Structure formats: structure tokens, C-alpha cells
Amino acid sequence: MDGVPIGRKVNLNSFDSYEKLSFSVDELFRGLLAAQRDSSAGKEAKEIRGLLDGSGEYTLVYEDNEGDRMLVGDVPWHMFVSNVKRLRVLKSSDLSSLNRGAAKQREGIS
């Protein structure tokens, strides 16, 4: 998660889809987010929704081997696995510039 110094390793070869990766990331960070929201805890942690489509509070983003940040799910799975260097969980509200960059790439504009 951006701004939170957490080091977790995820073996991408143990997954075969973005959905399974999203589920795993949800399991890793669900408790952390619940603790940040409610320091008294005790409440059951809620599922992190919208990681792949940006419809939730958080979205999965990756840094490729060239240092570019991309939205997880923008390329076929096998291409993602071969190019990803680092995964990040960003607040969806912080994605506006990244979304514009991805849209330009899809349109073929540099």
C-alpha cells in the first residue's frame, strides 16, 4: 500500500488469473485496513472490493520492468507476469493521472 512501508512477497506463478491475485491481496491487507479504520478493532474485517476495476476504495497497480506504473488487468495475464516488478495498492482517488496515461496508451498516443 502506498505510504505504508509493508514488504510482502507474492509468487505470481502460483496464480493463473487476475481474480485469484486480487483475492490473495485482499487476504493480505484486509486486517491492516480494518485496524487503520478502527483502532479498537474487534469488528470483522470487510472484503476489499474493486481492486481490479477501480470501483472500490483501493486499486491494484503495478510497476513494470521499465519503471512505468500500469493498472493491473490492462494486459493479458502472461504478459503481466513476465513484466511486473512491484505491486502497489493505491487509493482509487489517486489514480486520475494513471488512468489518463493508460487511456493514451490504448489510443496509441505517446
Q: Is the pTM of this model over 0.85?
A: no
Residue 16 has a CB neighbour count (10 Å cut-off) of 12
For the segment 47-63, the average pLDDT, to the nearest whole number, is 84
Q: Does pLDDT of 11 surpass 50? A: yes
Q: Does pLDDT of 55 surpass 50? A: yes
Task: Find the Cα–Cα–Cα–Cα dihedral 67, 69, 71, 74, rounded to 10°.
Answer: -50
Residue boundaries of the structural domains of the chain: 12-107
CATH topology of domain 12-107: Ubiquitin-like (UB roll) (3.10.20)
In angstroms, the CA 36 to CA 82 distance is 33
Burial-class residue 59 by CB neighbours within 10 Å (0-12, 13-18, 19+). Answer: buried
